[in-house]
A and B are shown apart, each in its own frame.
Chain A
Amino acid sequence: MALIDFQGVCVDFPVYNASGRSLKKRLMLVATGGQLNEDATGVVVIRALDNITFKIGDGERVALLGHNGAGKTTLLRVLSSVYAPTSGSGLIQGKLGSLIDISLGIDPEASGLENIYIRGRLLGMSAAEIKNKAPQIVEYSELGDFIEMPVRTYSTGMHMRLAFTISTTLRPEILLMDEWLSVGDEGFKHKAEARMKEMVQSTSILVVATHSRELAMNTCTRALWLEHGKIKMDGSSKEVCDAYFGPVAS
């Protein structure tokens, strides 16, 4: 049983190195990011998420929509419990996996195989588990003998293929993504697409931040529209997409 339950979650970022405070105040009028405020001691505070309340249950596929700076990435980070809410409370039940930065922890000087171990460890796999899965990962990523070479000798595509394969080995109950992952050349792309679909299917909850109507409509069942750190709309993906992107001209 996977569950995400957020009750009035707020996230305030203090900005200690903001010297031009008056300039920042003026920026309040320009409405791109969250809301800028000052706390009692005069430190500039950015309210990135404001009173977010929602509940996501088993089987839901949720798209996070919103302009740049609306709070999508921050919300994903709160979901992955990197940021603790400044106020409010959240409950996350279920094994969490994130495909937000799949290259995290990859050391360019180490060989592909060593990187499978480092990255696998970071993702919480045990040494035995990685040892079991390493041959599959090597085979799937189609790197062949290059797996023994330092990653810095890889092309960008090969690098991404390796990172992608390691990260998609896990089967979490709650999956967080920032846009759909698409890697490799034409041949690998199809394989990767199938693997992503399979991974998404096996998770109970998917939360994906996206700018793509297609993704929100086809993969997701529900959408949250964030604006200035608040939920502007919460509903079925069709309803929200029609409101956010405008109705489809049929």
Chain B
Amino acid sequence: MLSLIHARRTILQCEIINAFSLDVVRMSNSTDLGYKDVHLAICRYDLAGTLGWQDVKQRYRRSKLGPFWLTISMGVMIGALGLVFGGIFNTPMREFLPFLAIGIILWVYISTVINEGCTAFISSDAIIKQLPLPLFLHVMRVIWRNAVILAHNVVIIPVLFLVFLKPLELVAFLAIPGLLLSTLTLAWVALLAGVLCTRYRDLTQIVASVLQIAFYLTPIIWMPGLLSGRRSFFFLEMNPFYHLIEVVRAPLLGSAPTLTNWVVSAALALVGWIITLWVHGKYKNRISYWL
């Protein structure tokens, strides 16, 4: 009951803030936790949605197939990589191709959100310098845009399952909370990257390079079963990307993620958000100055 009341109150607060968000503004250079900014941004999720949709539409405005071009190019890439690496690793296609497809689709989502998170504020500088919108909104726009693209790419997975007559088990539903948990982590990474990259522009390039290396170090085009002992510990257990992908991929492939996967993913989200809110609160007033 108490939680219900609390939930109601939060909704009400949201409405009030929405309607009168600009009614009283106190300005000073004092810092607070970034919580308020994030809260205000979430209250205006519809604006982030509109802008994110607009980005997707804009990219494919004059093409017939629109965003499904992404699906097609993704499908072709998965097919090509599957043929080459399935051959190299000598893994049966029925096992390898769904593994590869889910991994790559998730990786594209994860890496694009982080890469575009780096430039979330820089590319919205015109809006930031004109309208006092909550800053996290620009990060939400990046996430939404990529979630829409992810939804287009996901179409490939059921097709592959059909082609190989691979059954989708009940445990597959665990992929939904898994994806939400991963996205929660991605959101703080993108926000933190956005704040830091706006100040230090070189960081964008560094992040891109790190992500490129992470792609090869993470079991996406190679299967985790190929590693054993100490190597498996370093490349799997110590690799945050592995856990973020595994909480979604494992259930889709028919096995529940391990407890380690869940714990690491949840811890990443929690600790990351605490640090990010602190950093964001400290520097959010400076972001418009850095643009």
Query: Which residues of A are in contact with B by a Cβ distance under 8 Å?
Result: 9, 13-14, 16, 77-78, 80-96, 98, 100-101, 104-105, 107, 109-110, 117-118, 121-124, 127, 150
Contacts and interface: CB of A to CB of B under 8 A. Distances in A.
Given A109-B61, A122-B131, A84 B27 contact: yes
B130 A91 contact: no
A89 B27 contact: yes
Contacts of A14: 289-290
Interface string B23-63: 11111110000000000000000110011001001100110
Given A110-B54, A118-B50, A105 B127 contact: yes
Given A90-B28, A104-B130, A122 B23 contact: no
B130 A85 contact: no
B24 A82 contact: no
20 contacts: A14-B289, A77-B288, A81-B27, A81-B132, A82-B129, A82-B130, A82-B288, A83-B288, A83-B289, A84-B27, A84-B288, A89-B27, A89-B28, A90-B27, A92-B27, A93-B24, A107-B58, A110-B54, A110-B58, A117-B50
A89 B128 CA distance: 20
B126 A104 contact: yes
A92 B21 CA distance: 12
B165 interface: no
Contacts of B20: 95
Q: Which 4 A-B pairs have the closest CB atoms?
A: A84-B285, A89-B28, A90-B27, A81-B132
Given A90-B28, A91-B26, A98-B130, A121 B46 contact: yes
Interface string B57-72: 1100110000000000
B289 A13 contact: yes
Contacts of B28: 84-85, 88-90
Given A93-B23, A121-B47, A127-B46, A80 B54 contact: no
Contact of B29 (A87, A100, A127): A87
A104 B131 contact: yes
A107 to B, nearest CB: 6
Given A78-B27, A80-B130, A91-B26, 18 more contacts: A14-B289, A77-B129, A80-B131, A82-B128, A82-B132, A84-B27, A85-B27, A85-B29, A86-B29, A87-B29, A88-B28, A90-B27, A91-B25, A104-B127, A110-B58, A110-B61, A118-B51, A121-B47
Nearest to A10: B29
A61 B281 CA distance: 35
B288 A95 contact: no
B22 interface: yes
A84 B131 contact: no
A91 to B, nearest CB: 6
Nearest to A89: B28
Contacts of A124: 21-22
Nearest to B131: A122
A13 B288 CA distance: 10
Contacts of A110: 54, 57-58, 61
Contact of A101 (B46, B54, B128, B130): B130
A113 B28 CA distance: 39
B23 A95 contact: yes
Contact of B50 (A88, A93, A100, A121): A121
A152 to B, nearest CB: 10
B54 A107 contact: yes
A110 B133 CA distance: 22
Contacts of B62: 109
Contacts of B24: 91-93
A93 B131 CA distance: 16
A109 B62 CA distance: 9
Interface string B133-146: 10000000000000
A80 B23 CA distance: 12
Given A104-B131, A109-B61, A96 B46 contact: no
A13 B47 CA distance: 30
